[in-house]
Amino acid sequence: MKRSLILWIPLVGYLIFLGIASLGLNRDQQTTIQSRMIGKPVPGIELPAASSSNPALSTKEMADGKPRLLNVFASWCVPCAAEAPVLAQLAREGVRIDGVAIRDARADVDAFLARHGDPFQRIGLDARSTLQFYLGSSGVPETFVVDGKGVIRYQHIGAIGPQDVDTILAKLREAEI
């Protein structure tokens, strides 16, 4: 009796494996990768100006006493155009926003700003995603809340919608303390 029970063990093991594997197959494969840089200072990188209208961006100058948003975007990115009105609204409310244009060209950024508005103070051109890697950012658009000491306090992944404005403003207020 005992012997025949032992013989079933491999089959049971196989069925357990099969169950886990089929569960894994049905799970959503794309996961959101949160940056591990939250709570750490913004890496200091100097980027050239991405547009004709905004000054260049050096992330070494982020620790100027007041919180701000660091928006990672690109002129070729469709959701970035979708979040532009929300960024414009935030800028009207007095939020300081710096931009990082990923893998972009000046003419394209100029056209993007002319079409969707320019809520940015400074815009740096990150031609090879360097700052993006330093930030632990995994795509566009993404927005970081940076406090007055230049420390990253919050990361918003994806386009900022009207429903996210309250959260962003709350995180900015938190960053002031």
Partner 1 sequence: MRRALPFLLLAVALAAPIHAQTALPPAPYADRQLDDPALEAKATALMHTIRCLTCQSQSIADSNASMASDMRSEIRERIARGEDPEAIRAWLIERYGDWISYKPTAEPILWPLWGAPVLLLGVGGALAFRRIRKHRKGSA
Residue linked to tokens 């032992």: 6
Q: Among 16, 18, 20, 33, which residue sits at the site for partner 1 (rule: CB under 8 A)?
A: 33
For residue 33, the minimal CB distance to partner 1 (Å) is: 6
Binding of residue 157 to partner 1 (CB under 8 A): no
Binding of residue 30 to partner 1 (CB under 8 A): yes
Question: 63 with 36: CB under 8 angstroms?
Answer: no
For residue 103, the minimal CB distance to partner 1 (Å) is: 4
Residues with Cβ within 8 Å of 118's Cβ and at least 6 positions away in sequence, in order, are 51, 53, 54
For residue 175, the minimal CB distance to partner 1 (Å) is: 21
For residue 100, the minimal CB distance to partner 1 (Å) is: 13
CA separation for the pair 61, 44 (Å, rounded): 8
* Identity of the amino acid at 80: C
Burial of 2 (0-12, 13-18, 19+ CB in 10 A): exposed
For residue 3, the minimal CB distance to partner 1 (Å) is: 13
Binding of residue 130 to partner 1 (CB under 8 A): yes
Q: Among 42, 84, 90, 135, which residue sits at the site for partner 1 (rule: CB under 8 A)?
A: 135
Binding of residue 45 to partner 1 (CB under 8 A): no
Q: Which is nearer to partner 1, 108 or 164 (CB)?
A: 108
Greatest Cα-to-Cα distance within the chain, rounded to the nearest angstrom: 84
Q: Among 139, 148, 153, 157, which residue sits at the site for partner 1 (rule: CB under 8 A)?
A: 139
Write out the residues near partner 1 by the rule CB under 8 A. 29-31, 33-37, 74-76, 102-105, 108, 127-130, 132-136, 138-139
